[in-house]
Chain A
Amino acid sequence: MTDKTIHYPLKLEGPDVPMVRFMNVSKRYGDLVVLDRLDLDVAAGEMVTIIGPSGSGKTTVLRMIMTLEKIDEGVIYIDGEPLTHMEKNGKLVRANQAHMRKMRSKIGMCFQHFNLFPHMTALENCMEGPVQVLGISKDEARERAMELLEMVGMAEKSDQHPSRLSGGQQQRVAIARALAMRPKVMLFDEVTSALDPEVINEVTTVIRNLVDQHSLTMLMVTHQIGFAREISDRICFFFGGRIEEQGPPTDLLDEPQEDRTQQFLSAVFDAN
Chain B
Amino acid sequence: MFDWQWDFTWSILPRLIEATGKTLLAAGGGYLVALVLGLILALAQRTPWKPLTLVVRELVEFIRSTPLLLQVFFIYYVGPQIGLRLSPWTAGLTAIGLHYAAYLSEVYRGGIESIGKGQWEAARAINMSTAATYRRIIIPQALPPSIAGMGNYLVGIFKDTPMLSVIGVGELMHTANTIGAENYRYLEPYTLVGLIFLAISLPAAWLVRRFEAATRRRLGLSK
Contacts and interface: CB of A to CB of B under 8 A. Distances in A.
B127 A68 contact: no
Interface stretch (B31-39, B133-141, B191-199): B133-141
**Interface size for chain A: under 10, 10 to 19, 20 to 34, or 35 or more residues?**
20 to 34
B20 to A, nearest CB: 37
B55 interface: no
Q: Determine the main DSSP class of B at the interface with A.
A: helix
A133 B128 contact: yes
A177 interface: yes
Contacts of B140: 119
B119 to A, nearest CB: 6
Interface in B169-218: none
B223 A67 contact: no
B132 A118 contact: no
Interface string A98-129: 00010011011101010111111100000011
A163 interface: yes
Contacts, number: 67
Nearest to B218: A119
Contact of B219 (A67, A115, A119, A132): A119
Nearest to A67: B124
A66 B128 CA distance: 13
B1 interface: no
A118 B125 contact: no
A163 B118 contact: no
A161 interface: yes
Given A111-B121, A118-B141, A129 B220 contact: no
Interface of B: 118-119, 121-122, 124-129, 132, 136-137, 140-141, 219-221, 223
